[in-house]
Amino acid sequence: MSAIIKKITIDPPLDGKENMRRDKKNLRLIKTAGSSSYLIRIYEWSRPTISLGWAQSIKPFLNKVNPGIAMVKRITGGRAVLHEREITYSVTAPVPSPYFGHTLYGSYKIIARILVSFLQNLGIKASLKRQKTAAGNKSPVCFATTSVYEIEVRGKKLIGSAQKREKKGFLQHGSLPLFCSQQKLAQYLDLSAAGTHHNHYLCLKDLVNDFSVNELKKNLANAFEKYINEKNKNQA
């Protein structure tokens, strides 16, 4: 019988390679764990870092990125994200999962509802994107467009998420910008390609005047824990 792993951790700020290594390790562990397992991380980045989706080309960024900004590849898909003054979550669970369902969009929807609950506790009226964005937006920037079951406030994207799904497990992670630094990506790209993506997203500072990063991380971890506890009660 496979061991059951249930863990929610709040990590200190780490560099991009270490954050991605830990996410990869969690996915590897979860694929051989018991079906009711989960590994959830809430973390930060120790230096400004651009993460690229696994299939995204690095060429548009070459010779344009400030030497002080690191770059990493994610194992998930999606578009470029600048991780600077933000908090990130990652969820890994078996497929299927009693907590996070058995389909890609099912898990997206469940995690999105947890994120909405977290934001509502901050007094933010967040909602789920219900439909796919129409084709045609070719921006390489994640926050330039909102995908189905991502989080919107006032019609603008607040949290960007991406998922890696395999036969026996999945990893989903997502970024909540605390301050509006995503527009800096335009400095590293052709502006005609990047577009005016700041028109499409918000950061937490737009919505909440005062906040503690450590408290936000704890509250987000608590939102996941509350959901899991309620799920356990309903299944008892």
Which residues face 74 on adjacent strands? none
H or E, element range at 220: helix 213-235
**Tally of CB atoms within 10 A around 173:** 27
Tokens representing residue 180 in the block:
């509006």
Strand order in the sheet with 70-73: 70-73, 49-52, 81-83
User: Catalytic annotation on 203?
Assistant: no
Catalytic one of 42, 91, 93, 142? 142
Helices (H) and strands (E) in the chain, counts: 4, 10
- The alpha-carbon radius of gyration of the chain (Å, integer) is 17
Whether residue 170 contacts residue 164, with contact meaning beta carbons closer than 8 Å, is answered with yes
> CA-to-CA distance for 58 and 72, rounded, in angstroms?
10
Whether the ω angle into residue 48 lies within 30 degrees of 0, i.e. cis, is no
Which residues form the catalytic set? 142
